[in-house]
Structure 1
């Protein structure tokens, strides 16, 4: 890998991946405030998602490696946090929301890979809906991580509400991507 692929935006993305074991460790530490720290780590990682994209555009440092790594970091972080939350509160509707979100990410990543193979990647590029969905997911997860140990009676219902909205937007964005790809998917190749 060339050093030009390792710019500040890419380092922020790598930091997001490196924070995943920290997130897990803090979630399971039996210390007072550990889960609040876990929520702060997730919030920091979420902010780096916005910051790395902003810096890559602002500093003209977009790279193929960064474009590949950024969504991987996001998906890993969200999936890990959702698994932690479901393990902590194994409610069926929470598990369903997590399955919808994680399943959509796998489906759309596979769709994008296949569309790229056939030269049709532009039909399934990230949209404003996908960005809004990601913001809602990260907000919901941050609130729910804080709610595990702190201000539960207020943050938990708010986080659950955001997560339900995020699951709805997740399905909506998946349907939009599949609709855009549907004619190509139905072709006999």
Structure 2
């Protein structure tokens, strides 16, 4: 197994740790940040999320640069991304930090695009991610990290950065989904 695939698998293995940190009430204490408190377990979970998100870029860059792109990597990388983002968003709903309807739209877009990619793969077509998808991913990662950090450091000045970023991410999620289907609708139209 090559290094990019090992990095991707490590990202998948971080997800259960991330979930436990947000789901189990640890007695590690809390930090006061502005008008909010940030449990240390949420801070550690946010760090894990940020590290896992960064490895998404690292493994892809490394695989392309050293010509280590494999079918396993093509399968695992988007799976790891969707598992991480979905787990984070669902937990944010449970914690009361994100509205369920926003999360449903974001996750639905991921299912729809994955379905289109599966149809394309069945026709022997590989659909690459476009720039809109990359913007979508970046805004989602920033929004999730900010929400996990309870809007730190913006909570000191009362600026709702995390909430604003969630809606920015929603906007780019919908826009990139539309863009993806508009550019690739021929796959559905022409499939057997």
Q: TM-score, normalised by structure 2?
A: 0.85
**1:10 maps to what in 2?**
5
**Correspondences of 1:64-83 after superposition (within 5 Å):** 64-83=71-90
Which of 105, 120, 130 is 2:110 aligned to?
A: 105
**C-alpha RMSD of the superposition:** 2.1
**1:114 maps to what in 2?**
119
What are the ranges of 5 or more consecutive residues in structure 2 without an aligned counterpart?
30-39
What are the ranges of 5 or more consecutive residues in structure 1 without an aligned counterpart?
1-5
Moved over 6 A (4+): none
Q: CA deviation at 1:37?
A: 0.3
Q: Distance in 2 between matches of 1:26 and 1:156?
A: 26
Tell me whether 1:165 sits opposite 2:172 in the alignment.
Answer: no
Q: TM-score, normalised by structure 1?
A: 0.86
Q: Relative contact order, CA 8 A, sep 6+: which one is greater?
A: 2
Q: Is contact 2:97–2:147 with CA below 8 Å preserved after alignment?
A: no
SS of 1:133 mapped into structure 2: helix
Q: Distance in 2 between matches of 1:42 and 1:109?
A: 22
Q: CA deviation at 1:156?
A: 7.7
Q: Is contact 2:119–2:191 with CA below 8 Å preserved after alignment?
A: no
Q: Distance in 2 between matches of 1:16 and 1:156?
A: 31
Bigger share in strand: 2
Shift of the 113–188 alpha-carbon distance from structure 1 to 2, 3 Å rule, reads closer
Q: CA deviation at 1:97?
A: 1.6
Bigger share in helix: 1
Q: Is contact 1:144–1:156 with CA below 8 Å preserved after alignment?
A: no
Size of the aligned set, in residue pairs, is: 179
